[in-house]
Structure 1
């Protein structure tokens, strides 16, 4: 059974605005975005960037950058590096437009509470490059990485005549394509980072809820409030198939989130989706589904007692995280079997709006992630950033298990002989 726990130490930060989007900017830098909207509530809109560390006992964060976006709330975002790793880009859905940001980095020397900029680093690989400070050789000088978000181009991505809204924007892993979807139901493909329009994909009749690219092949998945899950060839701009499943009798389900993940040992993608009941079926179970998308096969399903709101897949494809709507809970599942291995009941006081695993695919990234088998960040409109860790599960060697089995069989035989069976 998955452990259930809620620990106050899980809370990393409290922001003074509701949080809607979460990304790992580097291996140890967390970016969150949100806000209170354009109404005059006094609640800010924008981004916060934190540096994540671990002292051997617990996680800590330190604020690095705050960037406010004026009257435009940040509802969604995506991060990508250029193929040569020299530039990092951030795109954010802000009202009817998608805003491009150039993410520049500086190193700063911090000594006795003061900060001095010591040089620019536009090649952001997520690692800390050691640089010598020619003006200060004090061993107590601490070097910190700072971020500067510089607004670039902005393009309108939704053309709903009444209330246009960019619902989701996603960057391809290769950093050359961007997909956006809004309330008009159209999927728009863009050349990145130039933001030049490439194609408009038409299949949905209602607003888009989520989009994701696969790491292998040219697959794009889109889901919307019309109940459709459509698989596309993102290079050709053509529809491949619509994913269908046999829903419980007398019920109607809508997809909420979709994410691709890699299949271990194969150059192939699995697809994970959240399905919630609607209308008269709202008391029925919600589902986390595992699909083999190219075959159109629903491979595995696991049930939940409440509606689901957030989904993340770790970069190596081994674990999945799910966030709930009503209880604000977070759970971690083994991707292969969908078995739940951690459940954090009431992680947030309101529904979970975003989840992101700490990355592990980089072999040099040990300082933060190696303290647990998996660690996932979560955010909510309760303004909190939390982290949830899956401790290394205890296991015994195969040879020891065989010895224990043989010994147990021997004791059983001796006992049966003793009682005359």
Structure 2
């Protein structure tokens, strides 16, 4: 794991970026695949898996539940011995940190055990994140939860089947958790949605992966992280030049909806794409777009908005107020510190570019996406002399999904990558 200081000054690029990067594996796919492999019969090896804080939390939890999980970080593989829907250990304590996927997926997963007692807790931030609607749905199947928030103890009774309703308006992961566990219920389990969900492409990802694992899968390849790719699209806007992004799947059959960010910037001519390469585009116009379906990438656009001509309006992001932090309020706060005029509503941000303030320390709120998106903004040579003008607090928070991010950024700056 890279070691970073508490506050990291970002060294600007003094020339247009040139180089190539290889994306880490998708966190969303890795953690879903870990659950589905544990539910499967037989042994599955995940290739190109992500090794980060969130995936390590999932691996640790599966081991605590009695699963045999063998990891090889050098080879980027994880091998899981599936138990066909059985949860081996009857009672366990599970710390989910601030990993939303682990928190929601494991909560439904353990309910397959008919007589389990599982003690769940997480970071302080996790205690404010939505889980109550999932617990209510599981209680309709016979489970008993001691609380509607973390920490809680969950007494499980198996999943008898039938119809389960859930309100997934706060997080699509609540619905995904049930979709993955449903095939192992005692009788057919139908999940019905109360109202609308957010980030619908993640539901499609879950459904497609459940189908992929319906038959035994000995080897499963993890796509590169499309959300992480957004930072390199942002980088070519900040510095000019081009980056080859290896591992990004922009094909129609891609599992990750966040590839839509690349398509949006290309449609607005902010970047040009050719195969796996993103290059500086012909436009600097501000963007108006609904980010509900790919909201993890909204921070990448918001952070770069001060460099665009005219206002940028990002909508469809109310649910991100209940993610690692209140991302809407946090982004408005940091952009305002940078001298920008920001109009914040419950569901949207409107950013009007103003001269950037020099010497700002960006608060990251223990949220990797703040660190990475503003880290890229800092690569812009604002002073014109290559001297840092922006610093990132707690850069190590990137360990959640992209531990080597700032090392990779520096390698691109120096031309060593």
TM-score of the pair, normalised by structure 1: 0.26
Q: Which has the higher contact order (CA 8 A, sep 6+)?
A: 2
Relative to total residues, which structure has the larger strand share, 1 or 2? 1
Relative to total residues, which structure has the larger helix share, 1 or 2? 2
Which is greater in Rg?
Answer: 1
